[in-house]
Homo-oligomer: A and B are copies of this chain.
Amino acid sequence: MSAKLPDINTHFSDWYNDVIYQAELADLSPVRGSIVIRPYGWAIWERITGRLDERIKATGHQNASFPLFIPESFLKKEAKHVEGFAPEVAVVTHAGGKPLEEPLVVRPTSETMIHFMFAKWIKSYRDLPLKINQWCNVVRWEMRTRPFLRTTEFFWQEGHTAHETLAQAEEEVMTMLGEYVDLAQSYLAIPVIAGPKPESEKFPGAEKTFTFEGIMPDGKALQMGTSHLLSQSFAHSFEMKFQDRQSQMAYPFLTSWGATTRLVGAVVMMHGDQKGLVLPPKIAPIQIVIIPIFKTDADKIAVLEVVNKLVVKLQEVHVRVHVDADEHKTPGNKFYAWELKGVPVRMEIGQRDIAQGQAVLADRLGMGKKSVALDNIVSEVTSLLDEVQNQLFKRAQEKRAALWHKAATLQMITQQMTAQNGFYQTGWCRSLECELKLKAIQASIRCLLEIAEFATCFNCNASSAGDVIVAKSY
C-alpha cells in the first residue's frame, strides 16, 4: 500500500515526485540523473510516440538511425552549437580496453552527425526535400534533474530536414510546430501557446526557434518541444551543397525539431490531483478498469463470466481494458490503487447489477457515477471516454485562463508574480537589456505572441514590438 501523497496545492513539487514513484511511472536509478522508466510510464510514452510517429510519417518523413557517438571534432564545426552543448556532454575516452585517439561525445542532439551524412547524400535539387526523423536516446549532463522533466539521459524524436528554398524550410518548421500543438491539445489535453523564442533562447546555431509551452497548475511554464529554422552556417560547416535548378551550387535550408519524454511529465503535472494521476483516455495504457464485486467463489465465477464477455466487446472496438479480479484486495483498495494510476474510467459490476442487466461506471474526474445497461456497454464506455478527454482539456483551459495575467510593467509583473506564478502577457522592445531584467525575478520571456495589446516595453519607454509571455519555467 502506498503512502498518502503530499498536498498538491501546498507541495506541488513533492507531490509530482511522489506520484511518479507511487504510480510506478518511473524509479530512481543508480546512475546520477538517469531514471528507470517502468512499464506503466513506458506504456504512456509508447502511446505518445505511436501517435507522433504516425503523424511524422503522414507528413512525408522517414525514420532512420544515426550513431550514438559523435567525434568531438564534429561538435566544434558549428561555433555556437559547440558553445551551447560542450559544457554538458558525456565523453567516451576509452573503449575496447584502450584510450581512443579522438574522444567520442555521447550525442546531446544529432545535427552535426546528420548534417555530415546529408552532405554525402544531397547532390542535386532532385534529392530535396530530404526529410528524416530519428527516435533515440540523448544525453545532456544537467546539474539539477527531475524525473521526466530533466534527466541526463532522455528519449525523443529529432526531425532533420533539408530544403531547396528558405520558404520551404520555413513551411516545414511551422508544419511540425502545428503537429506538436495538435498532439499536445488533442492527445495530451494540454492547451499550449506556440510561437518564436526570443533571440537569447534560441537553439545553439539556429536562425529561429519556435516553442510550444504549457502552463502548469503551479503557474510555471513548461517548454514541451521546439521546432528550429537552422542558420545556413550548419550547411556551410559540413559543405552541404547541391546543384540547383539553374545548375548552380547552392546550400540547402535546414530545419530540426524535437519532442521528448518530458511530455510524460507534462501530462502528470497538468492533470493530476490529490488522488494521483489523471490520464487522458487517448494516451492511457488502461482506459477502463473493471472491478468485479463478489463475496463467494460461486459469485466470482458468475460475475467473471459476464465480465469476460464485456472485455471481448470492448476490445473489439480497441478499448484498452483491464480486469482487476485480485481476491486479496478489497474493492475499496482497488479503487484507490487505480485512481492513483489515473485510469480514466472504472466499471463496478456484481451479481445484483447483472440481475438488473447493468453495471456502474465511474470516471476519474468525479463527474458522477451512473448505472448503464450492459446491452449498451460499448457506446456508454466509448462516449464516457470521449467526455473525459474533452472535459480534461476544458479543465486545463480553465486552469490556464486563471493563470494568464496581463501586466504592463516590470514592477507590476514582479508584484503579481510574488502572489501568483503564471503567464504574464506584456509588451517588449526586443532588447536583451530589458529581457535580462527578468532574471531578478527568476522569470524569462517564454514566447513571442502575434498580438500587440501593449504599446510599450515592460521595462523601458521604447515602443513594444509585439506582446510576449513572461513566466517562471521548468
Do A66 and B29 have beta carbons less than 8 Å apart? yes
Residues of B within 8 A of A92 (CB): 90-93, 106
Which A residues between 101 and 147 are near B, CB-CB below 8 angstroms?
Answer: 103-104, 106, 113, 116-117, 120-121, 126, 132, 136-137, 139, 141, 143
Residue of B nearest to A67 (CB): B34
Residues of B within 8 A of A34 (CB): 67-69
Residues of B within 8 A of A117 (CB): 27, 29, 36
Do A96 and B141 have beta carbons less than 8 Å apart? yes
Quickly give the copy total for this chain.
2
Residue of B nearest to A104 (CB): B31
Do B116 and A67 have beta carbons less than 8 Å apart? no
Do A88 and B93 have beta carbons less than 8 Å apart? no
The stretch among A39-47, A330-338, A435-443, A450-458 that forms the contact with chain B is A39-47
- Cα-based distance from A136 to B38 in the complex (angstroms): 14
Residue of B nearest to A133 (CB): B39
Residues of B within 8 A of A37 (CB): 64-65
Residue of B nearest to A37 (CB): B65
Do A66 and B36 have beta carbons less than 8 Å apart? yes
- Cα-based distance from A145 to B38 in the complex (angstroms): 34
- Total interface residues on A, using CB and 8 Å? 56
Residues of B within 8 A of A187 (CB): none
Do B39 and A63 have beta carbons less than 8 Å apart? yes
Map CB proximity to B onto A1-45 as digits: 1 under 8 Å, 0 otherwise.
Answer: 000000000000000000000000001011100111111011100
Residue of B nearest to A121 (CB): B27
- Cα-based distance from A112 to B191 in the complex (angstroms): 41
Residues of B within 8 A of A136 (CB): 137
Do A68 and B27 have beta carbons less than 8 Å apart? no
Do B143 and A68 have beta carbons less than 8 Å apart? no
- Interface: A62 (CB within 8 A): yes
Do B88 and A96 have beta carbons less than 8 Å apart? yes
Give, as a whole number of angstroms, the nearest-CB distance from A69 to chain B. 5
Give, as a whole number of angstroms, the nearest-CB distance from A300 to chain B. 19
- Interface: A94 (CB within 8 A): yes
- Cα-based distance from A97 to B83 in the complex (angstroms): 12
Do B68 and A137 have beta carbons less than 8 Å apart? yes
Do B64 and A36 have beta carbons less than 8 Å apart? yes
Q: A30-B74, A31-B104 are in contact. Are A65 and B95 (CB under 8 A)?
A: no
- Interface: A89 (CB within 8 A): yes
Residues of B within 8 A of A62 (CB): 39, 42-43
- Interface: A155 (CB within 8 A): yes
Give, as a whole number of angstroms, the nearest-CB distance from A115 to chain B. 11
- Interface: A153 (CB within 8 A): yes
Do A153 and B67 have beta carbons less than 8 Å apart? yes
Residues of B within 8 A of A368 (CB): none
Extra contacts, 13 of them, besides A31-B69, A42-B64, A106-B106 (Cβ < 8 A), are A27-B117, A27-B120, A30-B113, A31-B71, A36-B117, A37-B65, A39-B64, A89-B96, A90-B95, A90-B104, A91-B93, A93-B94, A97-B141
Please, could you name 19 A-B residue pairs with CB atoms under 8 Å apart, sorted by A?
A29-B66, A29-B117, A30-B113, A36-B65, A37-B65, A38-B64, A42-B64, A68-B106, A87-B96, A87-B97, A88-B96, A89-B96, A90-B95, A90-B96, A90-B104, A91-B95, A95-B141, A106-B106, A136-B137
Instruction: List the 3 closest pairs (A to B, CB-CB), nearest first.
Output: A96-B141, A39-B62, A34-B67
